[in-house]
Structure 1
Amino acid sequence: MTDSVSPPGDSDAARTERRRRRSMDTRRSVIWGERIAGGVITVGGLMVIVAVFGIMVFLIRVVLPLMAGGELQGNVRYQLDTQQDVIWVNGDEFQTLGLAVAAEGRVITYHVPTGTEISRAQFDFGGAEVTAVAGTLGRDRVAFGFDDGTVRFAELGFDTETTARRNLPSGLQQLDARDRVLDGRVFTEVGTGDFRTLSSVVELGEAEQISDLPIIAVDYRVGGTRERPTIAFATVDALNIVRVSRSRIQVNMMTGAETVTTTTTELPPLALGAGVNVTSILLSGNADRAIVGTDDGFVHRYDLRNMDAPQLAETRRVADDGIAVTAMTFLSGEESLVVGGEDGSLSVFFRLQTGTPDTTDGRELIRSREHAPMPSAVVDLSEAQRQKEFVAVDAEGNVHVHHSTSDQVLFELARSGDVTTSSRAMIFPRSNGVMLVSQGGEVEAWQYTQRHPEVTLRVLFGRIWYEGYAEPTFVWQSTAGTDLAEPKYSLIPLIFGTIKAASYAMLFAAPIALMAAVYTSEFVDRRVRATVKPMMEMMESLPTVVLGFVAALVLAPLVEEWIGAVLLGFFALPTGLMLGAFLWQMLPVPVALKYDGFPKFVLMAAMIFVSAFVAYNMGTTLENFLFQGDFKRWTTGQFGTGTPFMFLILLPLSYLTVSWSFKRTLGHHWRALIGDRDRAQAGRLDILRWLALLTTAIGLSYAVASLLTLLGYDPRGGFVDSYQQRNALVVGFVMAFAVIPNIYTLAEDALNAVPGHLRAASLACGATPWQTGMWVVLPTAASGVFSAIMMGMGRAVGETMIVVMAAGNTPIMEWNIFSGLRTLSANIAIELPEAVKDGTNYRVLFLAALTLFIMTFVINTLAELIRQRFRKRAFQL
């Protein structure tokens, strides 16, 4: 009797099949584990995508304010108590107090937001009538010219103090929600709980007789040091005679006594036509040049560097024929000159060293840009103290605020009062407002915020003509030795530097990594591959900061000192390896098979060291023979021709051309010649063939290089120029060292993934392992290989520390392999720690990061599209 009852007709085979099916049933825990893992992977992938787009959104959010314009916050309008027109106006940096000087000498200090009069003073002009007025950049020092030929100087500034709340005087009167006043002082509460106290400083100096005729134009500058201040002023009288006076003040540090020495020089007369008069004059801060504008549309530039012999350096037309120059002003820094015309035109000029014989100093005024014209004649121009901005007022009362570098109109301010033809305007010191005083003491003040006036898309990606440059160009220079220099925010040099660094790195990395991948995948013994590949992958773990440190402090000086050996090494290493390969062919087959594998690999390494030793010892000889013993001096173009370097550059191409031509024309006959010979004889003939091809390539390269020289081509000044120690060659070396592991690992994996039957079929058809690897395996793995190259490119584009340390950080645009560069990533690393949060430089650096993000995104997207195309072709196999 059996222990269990089986179904009728049930056989042992059926029972076995049922047990096998039960054993193949997936356990419920496995199913749930797979579902959880799939969900986690899906969520993780989505989070990565969200994180990437989150980074992009954050970058865009930081960058967008760069493109936002200014915002007008409001304006006020009121009338000052003056008998005559206001001839000068000033305001403090907090837009709290204003100073207005009327033609009768009345000086009114008033509250800018409300127009309340704070204090009043009276200048005694001695009955003389003011005919000209000008002031310094800070507007606190003013010169008045009078109809009796005298000049007076005044101080019209502000005094700022801080008062603790407990020390506030009693009896303060409220001016508005922010300010209070007492005895000519305005008290403003600041964030710390203390109070800022503002009051005006009004002083008038004694008259100085300059001419017997009325002064029709004047300008005034204060410079020098605290111990030795200098005062310089220029005047033009009714006969258009120009005079420049300099007063040097020596202060005794012990007693405080001042000694003033004044010298006046009459400048060479202007050759003006009948009825032509001077309309304005400008004097530079150090009084080394003066510029006179006339009503016939000309400006006359004086060279005052030698006051004993001043010269009229240049006369230039700056306006159309018959159009008068009605206003002029320097921009901050006094390099650029803004000229306003009777027709409303606004032009910017600066001096440029051109070597022209038409001027006495070889410089000439160059028109750098034309701003949008005013609706009518320009009557007043006033510059900003901190930026390349100016405000222009025309005869119809239009007020426009311009930024010179970005060539844009920041604000077109509409007057709320009657139109007047006599106006004085100023930009507040912080460039956050404009004050206009018109006929009869009518004041109108505008307050605004401007975020980043110096930045436009054209500034970021276009050519801009900066002060002192010979032509419009791309320049990155966010800071300078002085705040008066105009910042230059072109991203093109940084993009160019990024592409240059990546290109030279890939020039070294891609061939080495791909050939290494082909070698370990198709030729080397598996045991050797098991050692070599992990070592190559370990290279990627080296910190790039260490690589950059070694490149900057070790490699760069060595390359500079042994540049001849480095150049020779590019040819000695491949030549030595090829020579070793031909010699290996001459070995008997048993010997070659015995030492194949690791011994052969050791011999290859030994040949590399021998080639490097030869290059090291022969480098000086090469430099003496081709470059007259000084390669670095040769790159400057001081001697020699471009033939030697072109010969070296063309040599590999010439060899490939000669080899390909031989194979196409005589390859079949050559194979027939050596086919029936033994291995040693065939090897000797192959060496002779190689030497003949090499000699022919050398002759061809030299002939082509000489022909290019005869045609006038010289690589110097192009991709070869002056040698700098930290250059793209060093960067290419070290970045290639960092990029090779990425490319090698991915490419080698792609090559090993090629099905083995394709290799077997190729070898069965008589192809050699080399032919199989190059024409069967490599095309099949093209998608993976291309992805490897693109991954390496992305790695090179985003590299930071190597280029920070080894590239010299010079944002220049030239393909010279011996010059430095600055990349987007390196620029961010260098400047972001010092950038003011939410400032212009800060946001432009984030724009650089966004640009880098877009570059890598585009590269990876194109790589993926091309990879998919290759993959479809490979699937057909």
Structure 2
Amino acid sequence: MNDLANNSMSAQSNGLRLDFNTPAQQRKRRVRAFKDRLTRWYVSIGGLAVLGAITLIFFYLAHVVLPIFAGAELKPLKAQQPAWLAAQNDALLLAVEEQNKVAMRLDRAGQVQFFTLKDSAPLNRVQLPLPAGASITSVSQDQPGSHRVLLGLSNGQVLVFTHTYPVTYPDNVKTITPTLQYPFGEAPIVLDPQGRALEHVALSENGDTLMLAGSTGAELSLLSISREENLMTGEVSQDETRIGLPQIAEPIKALVIDPRQQWLYVINGKATADVFDLRSKSLNGRYAMLKGDAEVSTLSPLLGGTSLLVGDSKGGIAQWFMVRDGDGKSVLTHIRDFSLGEKPITQIVPEERRKGFMALDADGMLGIFHSTAHRTLLVERVADGPTHAALSPRASRLLVESNGQLQRFVVDNPHPEVSWSALWSKVWYENYDEPRYVWQSTSANSDFEPKLSLAPLTFGTLKAAFYAMILAAPLAICAAIYTAYFMAPAMRRKVKPVIELMEALPTVILGFFAGLFLAPYVEGHLPGIFSLLLLTPVGVLLAAYLWSRLPEKVRLAIPEGWEAALLIPVILGVGALSLGMSGHLENWLFGGDMRHWLSNDLGIAFDQRNALVVGLAMGFAVIPNIFSIAEDAVFSVPKSLTFGSLALGATPWQTMTRVVILTASPGIFSALMIGLGRAVGETMIVLMATGNTPIMDMNIFEGLRTLAANTAVEMPESEVGSSHYRVLFLAALVLLSFTFVMNTLAEVIRTRLRKKYASL
């Protein structure tokens, strides 16, 4: 500026005049203005693009997740009133085959009519081989999906048949040919030796054993039929065994045999269940199922046969199954309730592939429910008055017969397994002794009960972050303060880049190292690891004390700010001593095996890949983030504040604690929040070093599974659009929301800290 002013004055004194509007100057100003506008637009568009990308991520995740909370829908199709229906008796049973092409109807006269589901056109009619003069008095089906039917007759006999739908391709045309099969012969089986009409029947086939139960009044008949095939001749022989059980005083209203043929459930009286142990042939117990004046109106097993669905005369549906109590005895336990209306429940139709079911009442109301999710998905009227219904194996079609008409419905119910309670509350799953938080998305059997609780995954995420931050936060913050405030500038220029270089180490390498080397090493040197954590601070303090007692001549020989280099041999020595005496400590204090001592003497479970390993490995990964940001914040404190405090008589320690740290507190807090966000979102380290077990236990020696690791593991194997797939996206949304909330809270706190200490 002075040169420009001198030149201007010189030019004026010489009679010359500077021209700032030359073409070159104007072009230069235009280029500079263009660069300024371009930079301003570039920064603005970049910032808006980042915000827009984050918003789009939220909207996309919400778009994928929201369908799992939608209910079911019914789309009615045109009602059919075929001529053949008017000529038949009342329906006992309706069924729909796998492809939703063919349906079956059984009437009281023993006629089975197969017809097309689309237009109710008759296909073929089969007359069941009923004995002369006998009529059907009761009907029962085996477990959902088995297609086995048992008919109780008026002469005390029963007939077992199955309806199948084989597919053939004659002339390359897909053809479904419905047939009936009699796996135990076409001749009826005598169940009641006295020949009395069977009011209620039940069956269960397990391998080569068929269990049949029937009742007349209060008397119970039970028959076991075993089949054995001769491998040499191919002949099949049958052995019948009658099973005697304690008799019941009150009339029987319903029977169910579980698939393992261990329990026989007998509903009698108004609302009492007698449970018989078929293996010991004894009464397990008598249980009151309903309260007040309600009566049991219908009974059906859920998919898998473990649970009983009990419909009552007040429109309620209760789920029950056997649970082991504290003494190890199995007792029938009430699990959860559903409500359809106020009319008696007339029929319960379980799904064949999920733990859902449909229920009909006497007023024609239909309800769609899911047992595990404890969810009512739909309540809608489908007919006026009594109805009879069948659900297709894929639960996508519903066939209802009412008032001489066949009404078809398209069922849209893709995600019944998910509810708020199933995601975040304890759920009482079948074969469990109590309600629990469980994540188990897949299984090998078809009657699996999905366990999609996000609680253990969220707990594991916070647990991993907690133990990582316990290790990383104190070390990183203290190191940052010492490096920025006490360390010599020359040493700082060497130490800071080395620590920041640790951040470039891929986390997959850290996870690989932690899982394959660190985990077994920690397991074999537990006393040494804990000794190292305890003795390192003691060793540092002892070294500092001894250093302060050395002659001043020796202490002054080390340049100021380089004292930290003396701690390197101290830490290495403490580490060598701690790990070297690990075996001796284990033999002396823990009987030679600290892991065995923890498990047997203290009752603390121990897994090789546990939270301690995660804390060490992930803490190492988080330290560079926290250190770098906190060190910059401390180093950026104006030197005038430091010099002013020292000039007023404060010691360097007082200056650091009362001026420097308070001024740098917004930056330090930001460093901690960024480190926490890194720990919460970490994937590969927790995936490879934790055992990946979704359990809820703060035990440092137990494994865990995090939201991020679970998504990384299961997303490639999930079916696109399935409930499992969408719940994984929900886990990602929970993780993103948690990070967003934490960052927002951190920004609010950081802003307040900056305002509070801005006057220093």
Match 2:601 to one of 639, 647, 666: 639
Report what 2:4 is aligned to: none
Give 1:198 deviation, angstroms. 1.1
Give 1:526 deviation, angstroms. 1.2
Report what 2:5 is aligned to: none
Q: How does 1:113-128 map to 2 (within 5 A)?
A: 113-126=118-131, 127-128=133-134
Report what 1:350 is aligned to: 321
Would you say the 8 A contact 1:295–1:326 is kept in 2?
A: no
**CA–CA distance in structure 1, aligned partners of residues 624 and 289 of structure 2:** 62
Report what 2:89 is aligned to: 84
Q: 1:86 and 1:857, CA in 2 relative to 1: closer, same or farther beyond 3 A?
A: same
Q: How does 1:706-785 map to 2 (within 5 A)?
A: 721-785=604-668
Would you say the 8 A contact 2:440–2:450 is kept in 1?
A: yes
Q: How does 1:319-330 map to 2 (within 5 A)?
A: 319-330=290-301
1:522-564 Cα offsets, whole Å, 9 max, x none, are 1111111111111111101111011011111111111111111
Report what 2:407 is aligned to: 444
* Equivalent AA in structure 2 for residue 240 of structure 1: E
**CA–CA distance in structure 1, aligned partners of residues 658 and 586 of structure 2:** 40
- Are 2:408 and 1:425 aligned? no
User: Match of 2:354, SS?
Assistant: coil
Report what 1:395 is aligned to: 362
Report what 1:648 is aligned to: none
Report what 1:233 is aligned to: 212
Match 2:691 to one of 785, 808, 827: 808
Give 1:378 deviation, angstroms. 2.0
**CA–CA distance in structure 2, aligned partners of residues 381 and 54 of structure 1:** 44
1:469-488 Cα offsets, whole Å, 9 max, x none, are 33333322211232312112
* Equivalent AA in structure 1 for residue 141 of structure 2: G
Structure 2: segments with no counterpart, 5+ residues: 1-7
* Equivalent AA in structure 1 for residue 198 of structure 2: I
Report what 2:52 is aligned to: 50
Match 1:207 to one of 182, 188, 204: 188
**CA–CA distance in structure 1, aligned partners of residues 544 and 127 of structure 2:** 100
Report what 2:305 is aligned to: 334
**CA–CA distance in structure 2, aligned partners of residues 16 and 796 of structure 1:** 72
Q: How does 1:692-707 map to 2 (within 5 A)?
A: none
- Are 2:227 and 1:249 aligned? yes
User: Match of 2:179, SS?
Assistant: strand
Report what 2:733 is aligned to: 850
Q: 1:238 and 1:529, CA in 2 relative to 1: closer, same or farther beyond 3 A?
A: same
Give 1:832 deviation, angstroms. 0.3
- Are 2:469 and 1:495 aligned? no
Match 1:63 to one of 34, 43, 65: 65
* Equivalent AA in structure 2 for residue 351 of structure 1: M
Match 1:144 to one of 147, 151, 158: 151
* Equivalent AA in structure 1 for residue 204 of structure 2: R
Give 1:159 deviation, angstroms. 1.6
1:300-359 Cα offsets, whole Å, 9 max, x none, are 11112x3xx411112101012543322211111222111112333210011111035xxx
Q: 1:612 and 1:458, CA in 2 relative to 1: closer, same or farther beyond 3 A?
A: same
**CA–CA distance in structure 2, aligned partners of residues 874 and 237 of structure 1:** 87
Would you say the 8 A contact 1:568–1:622 is kept in 2?
A: no
1:131-180 Cα offsets, whole Å, 9 max, x none, are 111122225221111121111111222222245xxx16xxxxxxxxxxxx
User: Match of 1:455, SS?
Assistant: coil
Greater CA drift, 405-414 or 204-213: 405-414
Match 2:430 to one of 467, 476, 492: 467
**CA–CA distance in structure 2, aligned partners of residues 22 and 396 of structure 1:** 93
- Are 2:757 and 1:874 aligned? yes
* Equivalent AA in structure 1 for residue 366 of structure 2: V
Q: How does 1:373-412 map to 2 (within 5 A)?
A: 373-412=340-379
Structure 1: segments with no counterpart, 5+ residues: 1-8, 169-194, 641-715
Cα RMSD after superposing both structures: 2.6
- Are 2:43 and 1:38 aligned? no
Match 1:284 to one of 237, 258, 277: 258
- Are 2:748 and 1:865 aligned? yes
Report what 1:4 is aligned to: none
- Are 2:277 and 1:303 aligned? yes
Report what 1:822 is aligned to: 705
Would you say the 8 A contact 1:280–1:326 is kept in 2?
A: no
What is the identity percentage for the equivalent residue pairs of Structure 1 and Structure 2? 36
Q: How does 1:666-681 map to 2 (within 5 A)?
A: none
Greater CA drift, 838-847 or 23-32: 23-32
**CA–CA distance in structure 2, aligned partners of residues 594 and 10 of structure 1:** 59
Scaled by the length of structure 2, the TM-score of the pair is 0.92
**CA–CA distance in structure 1, aligned partners of residues 51 and 380 of structure 2:** 47
**CA–CA distance in structure 1, aligned partners of residues 272 and 210 of structure 2:** 27
* Equivalent AA in structure 2 for residue 54 of structure 1: L
Aligned length: 740
1:576-633 Cα offsets, whole Å, 9 max, x none, are 1111111111122232122246874443111111111221233345445655554333
Q: 1:14 and 1:118, CA in 2 relative to 1: closer, same or farther beyond 3 A?
A: farther
- Are 2:554 and 1:591 aligned? yes
Give 1:743 deviation, angstroms. 0.6
**CA–CA distance in structure 1, aligned partners of residues 740 and 396 of structure 2:** 39
Report what 1:109 is aligned to: 114
Give 1:739 deviation, angstroms. 0.7
Would you say the 8 A contact 2:218–2:247 is kept in 1?
A: no
**CA–CA distance in structure 2, aligned partners of residues 433 and 318 of structure 1:** 32
User: Match of 1:340, SS?
Assistant: strand
- Are 2:414 and 1:414 aligned? no
**CA–CA distance in structure 1, aligned partners of residues 16 and 707 of structure 2:** 67
Q: 1:599 and 1:413, CA in 2 relative to 1: closer, same or farther beyond 3 A?
A: closer
**CA–CA distance in structure 2, aligned partners of residues 69 and 155 of structure 1:** 34
Would you say the 8 A contact 2:271–2:294 is kept in 1?
A: yes
User: Match of 2:274, SS?
Assistant: strand
**CA–CA distance in structure 2, aligned partners of residues 266 and 496 of structure 1:** 52
Scaled by the length of structure 1, the TM-score of the pair is 0.80
**CA–CA distance in structure 2, aligned partners of residues 154 and 347 of structure 1:** 30
**CA–CA distance in structure 2, aligned partners of residues 599 and 134 of structure 1:** 88
Give 1:261 deviation, angstroms. 2.6
Give 1:490 deviation, angstroms. 1.8
Q: 1:571 and 1:861, CA in 2 relative to 1: closer, same or farther beyond 3 A?
A: same
**CA–CA distance in structure 1, aligned partners of residues 641 and 409 of structure 2:** 79
Give 1:398 deviation, angstroms. 2.6
Report what 1:177 is aligned to: none
1:402-450 Cα offsets, whole Å, 9 max, x none, are 211222232334234x523xx54332100112223457x6533322111
**CA–CA distance in structure 1, aligned partners of residues 388 and 336 of structure 2:** 25
Would you say the 8 A contact 1:390–1:427 is kept in 2?
A: no
* Equivalent AA in structure 1 for residue 315 of structure 2: G
* Equivalent AA in structure 2 for residue 98 of structure 1: A
